[in-house]
Amino acid sequence: MRSPAPAFRIVACVLWAGILLGSGCATVESLQGAERGTRLNDSLRLYEKLVRWGEFAVARRYIRPRPEQPALAAAQSSDLLESISVTHYRLVGLELNPERTRASVSHELRFYHQDERREVAVVDRQLWWWDDEAARWFLDGDLPDFAGALVARR
């Protein structure tokens, strides 16, 4: 029995290499997407803990506007933040775009101002974005609007 022609073998090898390389690229992209998802969950959990325990200065390290957005000054004074105690912070919504570069996140939180001692509830809507250069997620926005929630409650 005669072996297949050399041209057939070359074509078969090229086809198999293309299939293997193509599936390898999809796997790498899937792994990168999974890694971003894991890092988002880690960032959200740590940010939640920082806000929950009143570590607002450290939580601000997660805040960075997207490159196409203007930088915003911190909207709330340190004095106000020092008088806030968060009693509840819970993730209630998360939508991640297919590329895993943007995430719309909603948190429900309850807090009180130490002088007033009444609990206020608010939903904090956030936009998180992936920074390729830093290889991490950032919050495009600010800390929860404690001042606005206190005014609305009055």
Nearest by Cα to 139 from 122, 123, 127: 127
Express each pLDDT in 2-24 by its tens digit. Answer: 555 555 455 444 444 444 444 44
CA–CA–CA angle 22, 26, 29 (5° rounding): 140
CATH architecture group of domain 6-153: Roll (3.10)
Sequence ranges of the domains in the chain: 6-153
Express each pLDDT in 71-125 by its tens digit. Answer: 666 678 889 999 999 999 999 999 999 999 999 999 999 999 999 879 999 999 9
Residues in the chain: 154
